[in-house]
Amino acid sequence: MRKSSWVFSSVALAAVCSAALLVGTSAGAASDDQALLDKAKSLFKPLPESPALENTALTPERVALGKALFYETRVSSDGRQGCVSCHNPAYYGADSLPLSLGIFGKVLPRNAHTVFNTSLLMAQHYGGNRATVEEQAVKALTSPVAYGNTSFEQVEKKLATLGYQPWFDKAFPGEAKALSVENWGKAIGAFERTLLTPAPFDRYLKGDTKALSAQAKQGLKTFIETGCAGCHNGVTVGGQSYQKFGITQDYWLVTGSTEKEAFKGYDKGRFQDTKNEADAFMFKVPQLRNVAMTPPYFHDGTAATLPQAVRIMAQLQLGKQLSDTQVADIVSFLESLTGEVPADFAKAPSLPVASH
Ligand code: HEC
Ligand code: HEC
């Protein structure tokens, strides 16, 4: 309840502020540009220059091990799933499928997020049931659909057999039990923390008003005025709160979700994890960085294109119908959130080979 009233007040706030932006039009284009930039700076933040490392020792050895483990498929129960299977450089750290395919072709109940910039989100997954990227990586190992291992001991044995002992020893020097599932999480987390993707929008937020096209700036303005920034804000343009999906109508009536047939019920978001009725249909607001590169959209992958997702959002979350021009402008703004695939991520590593 507290969260949803925050949405409405911040949506209202966005509307008030945008009215102030409009008043400025007579003062000329330059001051308009400055007003929009000031407003944007109050709602969003550029990516940090380097990953936040307060609790994580991010040594080159740890990052290299994390990258190897990210690409490692032999730890999964069918030998074919690694993080990279569903978080692939070719698809901007996601997998391009409406719903991911796990071990033995099992269908996962949700659409895969990108792994870029995710260390900056307030929690991981739509339900927020994993606090950090480290915890996320550990829990994936025993997920019955992603890796399908039955115990952590089994995972540690597999890693040792594959020849990973020296890699862990190097990445976690001096530790009596360097090769552990906990350190699997720390290493993969360290690698993920390097996957930041600065975009034209970051240059804009740092004061370069030419970094965005006129259409992208108009889109940014519409994004703020319509109320999108009430939920999609902060450094990752989302990922910082839980909100109900389907405020004006049940989402499946508008998205055509087939979850009911596939999984015998609609996905109730955070409720699936907390079993608290107040969390029913509350989903973590996804980040919108690189969103133009990661179709299809929504937790069930029901929106095939970005214009479609934008239209549905306006209708379901704000009770508004956007014109074609407004949609195109917002999409142009969202495209300014596309950074480059980190070079180190795109190049596959050499993995250890078993020596006995
Ligand atoms: C079989 C496909 C699959 C595999 C393998 C997989 N993931 Fe995912 N990943 C997903 C799906 C689907 C989601 C969305 C889950 C949800 O929100 O409930 C997700 C979500 C995430 C998120 C959350 C991002 C966010 O915005 O909240 C992170 C981080 C992540 N995965 C990292 C990893 C890592 C690291 C590995 C390897 C240890 C991994 N994934 C293996 C499919 C997969
Ligand atoms: C009240 C909060 C709220 C508002 C306002 C809102 N959104 Fe969202 N947005 C969400 C939530 C929650 C989701 C996740 C829905 C799901 O998949 O379950 C989402 C998902 C999205 C997605 C899909 C992201 C992905 O990777 O699948 C896009 C694109 C998006 N929103 C854009 C917008 C735009 C554009 C606006 C304004 C027209 C807007 N949103 C307004 C909460 C909001």
Tell me the Cα Rg of the chain: 21
Please list, in sequence order, all residues whose beta carbon lies within 8 angstroms of the beta carbon of residue 68, skipping any fewer than 6 positions away. 164, 167, 349, 351, 352
Question: Which ligand lies nearest to the CA atom of residue 219 in the structure?
Answer: 2
Is residue 10 pLDDT above 50, yes or no? no
Which of 85-94, 258-267, 345-354 has maximum average pLDDT?
A: 85-94
Q: Which of 145, 172, 150, 196 is nearest to 69 (CA)?
A: 172
The fraction of the chain above a pLDDT of 70, given in percent, is 90
Ligand 2 near 237 CB (within 6 A): no
Ligand 1 near 63 CB (within 6 A): no
- When pLDDT is cut at 50, 70 and 90, the band that residue 27 belongs to is low
Residue located nearest, by CA, to atom 1 of ligand 2:
317
Instruction: Tell which phi-psi region holds residue 218, choosing left (phi > 0), alpha (psi between -120 and 50) or beta.
Output: alpha
Is residue 13 pLDDT above 80, yes or no? no
Residue 356's pLDDT is: 56
Which atom of ligand 2 is the closest one to the Cα of 243? 12
Candidate from 85, 113, 282 with most ligand 1 atoms within 8 A of CB, to mutate: 113
Tell me what the pLDDT averaged over the chain comes to: 92
Is residue 19 pLDDT above 90, yes or no? no
Residue located nearest, by CA, to atom 10 of ligand 1:
112
Would you give the distance in Å from CA 292 to the centre of its chain? 12
Residue located nearest, by CA, to atom 43 of ligand 2:
231
Residue 73's pLDDT is: 97
Residue located nearest, by CA, to atom 13 of ligand 2:
285
Only one residue has tokens 């509307």, namely 15
Is residue 6 pLDDT above 60, yes or no? no
Residue 7's pLDDT is: 45
Which atom of ligand 1 is the closest one to the Cα of 119? 29
Is residue 5 pLDDT above 90, yes or no? no
